[in-house]
Amino acid sequence: MSAAKRIKTLRETIERHNRLYYVEDAPQITDAEYDKLFAELQALEAEHPELRTPDSPTQRVGGAPLPQFSEVQHRTPMLSIGNAFDEDEVRAFDKRIRQALGVEEVEYAAEPKFDGLAVSLVYRDGVFVQGATRGDGTTGEDVTPNLRTVNSIPLKIKASDLEVRGEVLMYRRDFDALNERQRAAEQKEYVNPRNAAAGAIRQLDSRITASRRLRFFAYALVSESASGTHAEALDRLGKLGFPVCKERDTVSGVEGLLGYYVRIGKLRERLPYAIDGVVYKVNRLDWQQRLGFVSRAPRFALAHKYPAEEQTTEVLGIEVQVGRTGTLTPVARLKPVFVGGVTVTNATLHNESELRRKDVRIGDTVVVRRAGDVIPEIVSVRLERRPPGAALFEFPSQCPVCGSAVVRNEDEAAHRCSGGLYCAAQRKQAVLHFASRRAMNVEGLGERLVDQLVDKELVRSPSDLYALSVSQLEDLERMGEKSAANLVAELERSRKTTLERLIYALGIRNVGESTARDLARHFGDLEPLARAGEGELLQVPDIGPVVARSIRQFFDEPHNRKVIEDLVHAGVHWPRSAPAPRASAPSKTFVLTGTLSGMTRDDARAAIEAKGHKVVGSVSKKTDFVVAGEDAGSKLEKARALGVRVLDEKQFTELLQNL
């Protein structure tokens, strides 16, 4: 037999045994026999390098380390799937699908939700040519050499051009063996199979990837065609040699979905790989196309998560964290405990009401859960194990970050730092809000730039923005002389503003654009607003006790008044005017929800206000109309429950013409 024929035979034999071992879990030869075949192929290819091809099994073993990953633009975005955590959310999902399609019952493709790393595989002329991570959904990392080492990924298929989406993961038994090797080598153990798999795929040295026993499961075939079903696409992938989940199924209606969830839940611990839920997809591809996408998620799919794992541990202490919006959150410092695949050392206690309800004290033994498999939280306290003298936690009266007064309104659960413009914990959020389009409208001042300005202490409060120079800005990452000059010009332009924009830019809690506009019209200038008591503030249309109290608390904090003084000294100015005559309340109140096809929400708001009417953010019995666009949410449900008149886009347009 010629070398070329023997090489061809060996490749086909080795790939068949790879499939039997990694895909079908039914090996027919021993590891020693496999190694002998592999060694023979390596030797023949070394003797005849002209016969070595990229799709040879020997190319799976990994090559020299890469200096870095290059970017891959996904032809079709790799979208995330929305989550559901209870039966009601699944029923709501099915209801939305049926209403959107105008049918009584929908057939779904259901499959386990793998806990691994999503990747995309591209084949040209039947050969695997590119593999990429999900990345941000639009742009991923080129990890082709690493994915070549995954034995369950076919290097050659009987199809022409194809893109396959799927998950790279590690079986539990392979993960345990990996950690045994790590322990034997006195190296750090891996936390869970998902992290081990993701870390292996993102290795710069593909030889390390090759040393892990990674698996691949295909879950989608990217196609321009909208014919057939998702289940048929998976069947085709299976025939082409891709591993597809044997536990997948097609079910009808919401009861079929919930039944599948229960069925897989009972199998969960016996599956060879970790899952954190199941995925439901509308089976018909033409219906998927009709339903489309919202934001970065498909409307036709839902991930139904299983309850998180729980463990017990000890509360070593309780501290307070100040969030970007000033909310003080009590955080329990825990004796490290392994929960849901990660080691947990902190858990949120949410707010004082929740802390008191659960009666969590320092020294307690508590049950910890990873809520939604993401945020650790304390579920309950084992009171029978409470030590004598377990200490209660008291909230501070001053912000631990900036020293401003901590306030808590009677109708709110959260404590808040009142130094919004001054507090370092809130600084980035305050600056971003101050510069936003509806506030001071400083174009070019985005999140990454604000992060740098605050981290380098070039900006401690919004007033510092107006002292920035071109030379300071051009030294920052992704900034050149032209960009720096443009930003300085934008800041110069923004010094002249309007009172309503300035009020909104201050970031006063509960004061949105509409309320800022009402305050500007009522008081005519900032000084009378800053002096106004709660009683006078209540005279402004649509301002109630909660908003009045928020405004008063803001101006009562000396740090905030100092920032406003600094803004004036920096040249920020606005037209002063006498208070407007008391206007009668708008005759009609609107709420906007969902997406309108013919106009933006800003356009709709402007059109309503131009007619002398008002747009508010929440639905109540006083609401006259709810304008519901595509993918309207809870506001639509509340409007129907309250009997508020709901308008679609066509009805809204007609009403506007007649108002």
Q: Phi and psi of 119, rounded to 5°? A: -140, 165
Residue type, 317: G
Most confident of 81-90, 98-107, 569-578: 98-107
* Cβ pair 338, 418 in contact under 8 A: no
E-assigned strands of 438-491?
none
Alpha carbons 259 and 350: distance in angstroms, whole number: 34
Mean pLDDT computed over 176-199: 81
* Cβ pair 113, 279 in contact under 8 A: yes
Mean pLDDT computed over 545-555: 91
* Cβ pair 124, 161 in contact under 8 A: yes
Alpha carbon 246 to chain centroid, angstroms = 29
The residue ranking higher by pLDDT, 631 or 557, is 557
The residue ranking higher by pLDDT, 363 or 323, is 363
* Cβ pair 159, 240 in contact under 8 A: yes
Q: What percent of the chain has pLDDT over 70?
A: 94
Under 8 Å CB-to-CB from 45, ≥6 apart: which residues?
Answer: 7, 51, 52, 56, 58
**Model confidence pLDDT, tens digit, residues 493-536:** 999 999 999 999 999 988 988 899 889 989 999 999 999 999 99
The residue ranking higher by pLDDT, 450 or 371, is 450
Return the minimum-mean-pLDDT range out of 200-204, 356-360, 394-398, 537-541.
Answer: 200-204
pLDDT of residue 229: 96
**Model confidence pLDDT, tens digit, residues 333-360:** 999 988 866 788 999 888 888 888 889 9
Most confident of 136-145, 198-207, 258-267, 304-313: 258-267
Residue type, 157: I
Q: Of the candidates 544, 531, 652, 635, which has an alpha carbon nearest to the alpha carbon of residue 593?
A: 635
pLDDT of residue 313: 92
**Model confidence pLDDT, tens digit, residues 292-323:** 987 668 999 999 988 767 788 999 999 999 98
- Whether 62 shows a pLDDT value over 50: the answer reads no
- Whether 372 shows a pLDDT value over 60: the answer reads no
Confidence of residue 63 (pLDDT cuts 50, 70, 90): very low
pLDDT of residue 584: 55
pLDDT of residue 23: 54
In DSSP terms, 625 is beta-bridged to 590, 645
Q: 373: left (phi > 0), else alpha (psi -120 to 50), else beta?
A: left
pLDDT of residue 350: 85
pLDDT of residue 341: 65
**Model confidence pLDDT, tens digit, residues 448-461:** 899 999 999 999 98
Which H/E stretch holds residue 97? helix 87-101
The neighbour count for residue 258, using CB atoms within 10 Å, is 16
Q: Phi and psi of 565, rounded to 5°? A: -60, -40
Alpha carbon 629 to chain centroid, angstroms = 24
- Whether 57 shows a pLDDT value over 90: the answer reads no
The residue count for the chain: 659
Mean pLDDT computed over 135-153: 89
Mean pLDDT computed over 560-574: 94
Alpha carbons 348 and 378: distance in angstroms, whole number: 7
Burial class for 294, CB neighbours closer than 10 Å (0-12, 13-18, 19+): middle
The residue ranking higher by pLDDT, 423 or 616, is 423
Specify whether 113 is catalytic: yes
**Model confidence pLDDT, tens digit, residues 250-282:** 999 999 999 999 999 989 888 999 888 999 999
- Whether 488 shows a pLDDT value over 60: the answer reads yes
Q: What is the full DSSP assignment across 262-290?
A: HHHHHHGGGSSS-EEEEEEEESBHHHHHH
* Cβ pair 115, 28 in contact under 8 A: no
pTM confidence score: 0.50
Return the minimum-mean-pLDDT range out of 162-176, 428-442, 579-593.
Answer: 579-593
Alpha carbons 420 and 325: distance in angstroms, whole number: 7
The residue ranking higher by pLDDT, 295 or 570, is 570
Domains of the chain: 3-59 (1.10.287.610), 83-305 (3.30.470.30), 310-385 (2.40.50.140), 424-569 (1.10.150.20), 589-658 (3.40.50.10190)
- CA torsion, points 22, 27, 31, 36, in degrees to nearest 10? -100
Q: Which of 5, 113, 428, 611 is catalytic?
A: 113
**What value does the mean pLDDT of the chain take?**
87
The residue ranking higher by pLDDT, 239 or 293, is 239
